[in-house]
Amino acid sequence: MASFVTEVLASSGKLEKEDLSSKISKMSRKVEDTKEEVCDMINKKYGDFLPSLQGSEELMVQVDEVSKEMDALKNCIENEVQQNIHVAMAEYAKLKQQLEKNTVIITMLGHLKEFHNAMEEFSKALLEKKYVEAANQLGRARANMHSLKGLKSSQLPLLSALSSELTVQRENLIYHLGDEWKRLVIWKLPSSKEPAGLKSFLKVELNLTYVCSKDGETKPPALLCCVLQALAIQGDLQNKIKLFSQVLLKNMLKPLVMFPSLSVRVTEQQGEGTILALQCLENSKEERSTPSQVYSKLLLVLQTLHSHLLDVSIGDKKLSAILGEIIWTEISQCIIHDCLLYSIPTNSSQLEKYNTVIRETEEFEKSLKEMQYLQGDSTDLLKYARDVNCHFASKKCKDVIVAARKLMTSKMHNTVKIAPQSKLRLPKLPAPSSAVKQESTKEITIENAKQLSVWSLCLPACRISESVQQLMELALNTLCEAVGSSTPCALQLFFTVRNIFQLFHDVVPTYHKENLLKFPHLAAIQHNNCMYLAHHLLTLGHHFGAHLPQPLSDGVATFVDMVPGFRKLGAQCFLAQMNVQRAELLERLSTAHNFCNLDDEDNYIAASKAVRQVIHQLKQLGTVWQDVLPVSIYCKAMGNLLNTAITEVIAKIMMLEVCLFSQPFHSYILWFQRCPTVFTCCSTPNDE
């Protein structure tokens, strides 16, 4: 009977479900027991640090067996549910939920097993100095740790213990890698307390360990390759190479660029390594290294590093490419500022020779690209070398402005004599275009038969500052450089000359302001300086315009617009000095007691003293101005001041209420007889 019932129930599927439920319950208990044992083992291993190797291995086997049973049971349930889904949905839902829970637990146990195995393999590889394998196993353990964190049923205390263990072992690996790096790449540097200089750099050495292959070719050792690849896997390679690059730049590459007497010595020690050391060239007396010298020294260092250290592939890049990305910008700027900048020609005749520098720079970058230090077609260094015309003009303009400013701030009292027959020493320029020749021919054919005097439109005789004459010569030389130059260069040079004159207009009155008001001699010189510049600016642009490239040759090259400003500047400076002298004259005459009661001894002495002071002042001005100012300006200035003094004296006398034939008036007559020079006009200067 029982067998018959059993057969009936089995045929209906109910007995199988009851047996299945019983199996799941037993399996759940078994899973929970296994979970507790595994977690307890893991806690003891990574939390309490208890030795439990044998127990852990047995548990791992138990975990594998439970996993297999769970997989078989899962497949059985899923098949049964699919066949009887229309009648057993509710019954199987509960069983499936319990199964999913058990599945999560089994997954967690699997990750714990993988984590444990990875850490065991890591420790073994680290002892055998298989750093790449150790780094990979550490990465495997980290991946299982992240998977455990994603499971909802993971225990937080357990994860904390595993995370701490992972961190400790990673730092342990980084320490071992750093220790190996220090043994393979050894720096000898001067003391940080020692001042930076040529002597301190002579103590710099870099020792690289290497091995030789069977064919004798040197290459980075296998251990170094493993160290570098392990650092890359751990994400610490970039930082390590960056620190190495900073030391390399500061103590070896930059000094080789900055000090022409420094060179690098490469010493091969059989079976030990290669030493790069800086040494001083005994016979070197140059202030700056030439580009070829700099390139050869840098290439020797970088080729040695590439052969013994950097010829290692990290992923899809060479280590030399990583180092190049870090150092190239800084080293190229150093080459530009300490080498190429000083090799730029100082005049246009040297531009052809500079092509050598461009070729040397191209070869230098080509060598770097072959070693994969550089990527791409063109760099800032090569662009700078090729833009020689622009740099030549910029350097020339900078030097011109510096020289001009030095002249403007120099002392003004050193003067030279300018005569009407004096002319600017204009250089010989190449023949202008045919159009200009035809135009000049037409101008000659329509000339007037009557000619102006030879001295027409000439600058009158006077004295100007020697520095202003030199400033004009500087402007002429700069314009000569612009003739025959490229259009951008010519434009830059031309407008630099305009900037020179504008700088004079703005700087000189401010820089010499106090002296121009204090010393009448300097005020007269400044007046002449401004008139001298204005005179030559009228024709300066016309002389050079036809020989400059367009658009300068189309009428842009002119300085005529600056002429009114210079004339006004000179006039204002001299008028300010005239006002100072006029005020001093009036102040001295104010002490004459209004020329009252000259019969009184005290009044007479005061009036006589005031007049003598006025005469002395006028004589002094005549002395300092007579040989400086043009004759017409000198006469007008002295006449104006003398007129001021006479007008003031007459005004004071006319205010007195006296009779022409009275005794007091007779005293005025006697006073004028005693001071006959009061109204005597100062002597006229010789016309030179």
pLDDT digits (tens, 9 = 90+) for 334-371: 988 888 888 877 666 666 677 888 889 889 999 999 99
Question: Taking residues 639-656, what's their average pLDDT?
Answer: 82
How many Cβ atoms are within 10 Å of 118's Cβ, its own excluded? 21
User: Does the pLDDT value for residue 678 go beyond 50?
Assistant: no
Query: For residue 295, what pLDDT is reported?
Result: 93
Query: For residue 232, what pLDDT is reported?
Result: 87
How far is Cα 246 from Cα 543, in angstroms, rounded to an integer?
56
Ranking 251-255, 272-276, 527-531 by mean pLDDT, the lowest is 272-276
Q: Using 50, 70 and 90 to split pLDDT, how confident is the model at 20?
A: low
Q: Using 50, 70 and 90 to split pLDDT, how confident is the model at 2?
A: very low
How far is Cα 123 from Cα 137, in angstroms, rounded to an integer?
9
User: Does the pLDDT value for residue 600 go beyond 60?
Assistant: yes
Output the CA torsion 629→634→640→646 (10° steps): 120
Tell me which of 423 and 191 has the higher pLDDT.
Answer: 191
> Nearest CA to 222 among 121, 311, 321?
311
Query: For residue 568, what pLDDT is reported?
Result: 94
User: Does the pLDDT value for residue 687 go beyond 50?
Assistant: no
Question: Taking residues 465-487, what's their average pLDDT?
Answer: 87
Query: For residue 448, what pLDDT is reported?
Result: 64
Query: For residue 578, what pLDDT is reported?
Result: 93
How many Cβ atoms are within 10 Å of 248's Cβ, its own excluded? 23
Tell me which of 197 and 19 has the higher pLDDT.
Answer: 197
User: Does the pLDDT value for residue 185 go beyond 80?
Assistant: yes
Side-chain-facing half-sphere of 75: CA atoms under 13 Å: 5
Q: Using 50, 70 and 90 to split pLDDT, how confident is the model at 63?
A: confident
How many Cβ atoms are within 10 Å of 633's Cβ, its own excluded? 18
130, 220, 298, 308, 655 from 212: Cα distances, Å: 21, 9, 24, 10, 116
Residue type, 492: Q
Query: For residue 576, what pLDDT is reported?
Result: 93
Ranking 44-48, 85-89, 468-472, 477-481 by mean pLDDT, the lowest is 85-89
Tens digits of per-residue pLDDT, 281-330?
A: 877 677 788 899 999 999 999 999 888 888 888 878 888 888 988 999 89
User: Does the pLDDT value for residue 530 go beyond 90?
Assistant: yes
CB 356, CB 287: distance < 8 Å: no
Q: Using 50, 70 and 90 to split pLDDT, how confident is the model at 529?
A: very high
Helix (H, G, I), strand (E, B) or coil at 95: helix
Output the CA torsion 183→188→189→190 (10° steps): 140
Query: For residue 471, what pLDDT is reported?
Result: 93
Which residues are CB-contacts of 593 (< 8 A; sequence separation ≥ 6)?
603, 606, 607
β partners of residue 205: 188, 277
Query: For residue 404, what pLDDT is reported?
Result: 92
Q: What mean pLDDT is reported for the chain?
A: 79
Tell me which of 440 and 242 has the higher pLDDT.
Answer: 242
User: Does the pLDDT value for residue 514 go beyond 50?
Assistant: yes
How far is Cα 609 from Cα 347, in angstroms, rounded to an integer?
63
How far is Cα 297 from Cα 331, in angstroms, rounded to an integer?
13
- The string of DSSP codes covering 221-233 is -HHHHHHHHHHHH
Residue 205, H or E segment: strand 205-208
User: Does the pLDDT value for residue 602 go beyond 60?
Assistant: yes
User: Does the pLDDT value for residue 559 go beyond 80?
Assistant: yes
Reading the block at residue 481, the tokens are 């450089």
Dihedral angle sign, alpha carbons of residues 172, 178, 179, 181: positive
Which residues are CB-contacts of 447 (< 8 A; sequence separation ≥ 6)?
none
Q: Using 50, 70 and 90 to split pLDDT, how confident is the model at 442?
A: very low
Which residues are CB-contacts of 654 (< 8 A; sequence separation ≥ 6)?
none
User: Does the pLDDT value for residue 609 go beyond 80?
Assistant: yes
User: Does the pLDDT value for residue 126 go beyond 50?
Assistant: yes
Tens digits of per-residue pLDDT, 145-181?
A: 888 777 765 566 777 888 888 889 889 988 998 888 8
Helices in 512-630 by DSSP H: which ranges? 513-518, 520-545, 563-589, 601-626
Query: For residue 681, what pLDDT is reported?
Result: 41
Percent of the chain with pLDDT over 90: 20
User: Does the pLDDT value for residue 667 go beyond 60?
Assistant: no
Query: For residue 672, what pLDDT is reported?
Result: 44
CB 469, CB 484: distance < 8 Å: no
> Nearest CA to 292 among 324, 257, 331?
257
User: Does the pLDDT value for residue 492 go beyond 50?
Assistant: yes
User: Does the pLDDT value for residue 525 go beyond 90?
Assistant: yes
Q: Which pTM was predicted?
A: 0.62
Radius of gyration for the alpha carbons in the chain, expressed in angstroms and rounded? 49
